[in-house]
Structure 1
Amino acid sequence: MTVHPSLQTYADASTHSLESIAELVQPLVEGEWNRPTPCPAWSVRDLVSHVIGMECEMLGDPRPIHTLPRDLYHVQSDFARYMEMQVDVRRHHTAPEMTSELEYTMIRRARQLRNETRGPDAVVRAPLGAEQSLELAMRMRAFDLWVHEQDLRVAIGRPGNEDSPGAYITRDCLLEALPKVVAKDAGAPPNSAVVFDVHGPVEFLRTVRVDADGRGTVDGAPSLGPVVTLAMDWETYHRLACGRMRATAAVDRVKVDGDQDLATAILREFAVTP
């Protein structure tokens, strides 16, 4: 147990997803590690390498000294370059090497989380040399691990854990981005409301309200006259929001009532992960 209860939820969710990832990849044969995942340009091996690398950074390990190839077409920003380093350095590791390093990293992280004495506001490193609070770092790890667990499940055809602890943290993280998507990115008109009705393993109804100044807020109260209502299942919601599904591929999975043009703009801007 961590000392601070506010961190325990994130620790538990991260541990659950990490253990699930290890269970998923343990039986894979060498060729299956090369399967593509919904995470753009990453294979199963790449995705697990990313998971290992980010957990090592939470442990405070030094980053690898490594030069990226120049022909990685999907690396288009400093953030992508930062993330790719931990992936590319493991690109030729074998299946046994990957599972062994994952298991060892899990043991180290479990020990760290058990013995954590820092408070939620403690400052830790963030990507690109920035800093963030420990609470934010742990929250984003729980979010990231659950999303990548789902990526792996899609890649190897083993769905599950759609309502595990990490799913609810992911829901909350994605909902925080919703006002910007609706009000700013999609340009919903002032003094309007947009309703999202999500069903499935994680169910929720949320209304994004745009005030007279064009600023958006989100709440759980229904709207009597929304300009548009979008209904979809939880899998569609998180895959769209995490950039794992294009809006054009979700046409048959999203029911739209109201302004079709605004709904199209919202779905076009729905992806909020880097």
Structure 2
Amino acid sequence: MTIHPSLQPYADAWTHSVEAIAELMQPLAEGNWNRATPCPGWSVRDIVSHVIGMDCEMLGDPRPIHSLPRDLFHVRTDFARYMEMQVDVRRHHTAPEMLAELEYTIIRRSRQLRNETRDPETSVRAPLGAEQTLELAMRMRAFDVWVHEQDLRTALGVPGNLDSPGAHVTRDVLLQALPKVVAKDAGAPAGTAVVFDVHGPVEFLRTVRVDANGRGTVDGAPSLGPAVTLAMDWETYVRLACGRVRPHTVADRIKAEGDQELADAILASFAVTP
């Protein structure tokens, strides 16, 4: 094994999730590939296409030359247009074609990971022609594939893996976004503390504190007098943070205490994925 120790958790999480996706897809009848998922505008086939396409980009494959239809209601930004290219180019592929490409991509990507010798700080290609470190790229692939595994499980009615390695990577990625959600997007005033109490397969208690300059930080120390405490289960937290549900549709699964106006503003800004 040549992969850098700091990259190994992301490689393991990606492997666990992508193999779970392959297992979910293997017995699926052709018609079920068209089922809608919680990911806006994407079917089961579309999500698998996205997973394949993004891992092909990690492999360095050229992006497809393809013109998108003009009537895709969910494609509203350059980022969404970039992501849609790998999806739309596969929209007419059959289930056997999709399975074969998924399997081949997993084989190629697994081999790449086993032979990875680059430093985690190596610059690699990011969406829209930007660059990012190899470590960030691998973290975001582990996050993305786990979230989409959950989209597929929801669409197919096969729950599971809410506490898998990818779930813990996802927790850390989403926690990094909390200070901006509270301090900037929701406009919590200086001196505010907001507690997030999450229970279920992945449990954590975190406090976001807004300093005198309006900047937010997150830590694991409880606050004695928080302005808001938001308690919810892990699955609800993920679905909210990834924009799969609106706060009002899961209100019965959220307990908000304290400043209700601020709590509503935080929940309204909770989705952090593009």
> Which category describes the TM-score, using the shorter chain as reference length?
over 0.9
Q: 2:147 aligned with 1:150, yes or no?
A: no
User: Residues of 2 paired with 1:225 and 1:2: CA distance?
Assistant: 48
Q: Deviations over 1:16-64 (max 9, x none)?
A: 0000000011111010000000000000000000000000000000001
In structure 2, the residue corresponding to 1:273 is in which secondary structure? coil
**Structure 1, unaligned runs of 5 or more:** none
Question: Residues 47-66 of structure 1: matches in 2 within 5 Å?
Answer: 47-66=47-66
In structure 2, the residue corresponding to 1:11 is in which secondary structure? helix
Question: Residues 1-274 of structure 1: matches in 2 within 5 Å?
Answer: 1-274=1-274
In structure 1, the residue corresponding to 2:182 is in which secondary structure? helix
Does structure 1 retain, via aligned residues, the 8 Å contact 2:209–2:216? yes
How far 1:213 sits from its partner (Å)? 1.5
Between the aligned residues of both structures, percent identity stands at 81
Question: Which one-letter code corresponds to 1:152 in the other structure?
Answer: L
In structure 2, the residue corresponding to 1:109 is in which secondary structure? helix
* Residues 12 and 2 (structure 1), Cα distance of their counterparts in 2 relative to 1, 3 Å cut: farther
What TM-score results when the alignment is normalised by the length of structure 2? Answer: 0.99
User: Residues of 2 paired with 1:122 and 1:78: CA distance?
Assistant: 25
How far 1:2 sits from its partner (Å)? 3.5
Does structure 1 retain, via aligned residues, the 8 Å contact 2:25–2:99? yes
User: Residues of 2 paired with 1:167 and 1:139: CA distance?
Assistant: 12
How far 1:98 sits from its partner (Å)? 0.5
Q: How many equivalent residue pairs? A: 274
Q: Which moved more, 1:191-200 or 1:68-77?
A: 68-77
User: Residues of 1 paired with 2:190 and 2:113: CA distance?
Assistant: 45
In structure 2, the residue corresponding to 1:5 is in which secondary structure? coil
Question: Which one-letter code corresponds to 2:83 in the other structure?
Answer: M
User: Residues of 2 paired with 1:127 and 1:104: CA distance?
Assistant: 23
User: Residues of 1 paired with 2:93 and 2:13: CA distance?
Assistant: 28
User: Residues of 1 paired with 2:212 and 2:96: CA distance?
Assistant: 58
How far 1:3 sits from its partner (Å)? 3.1
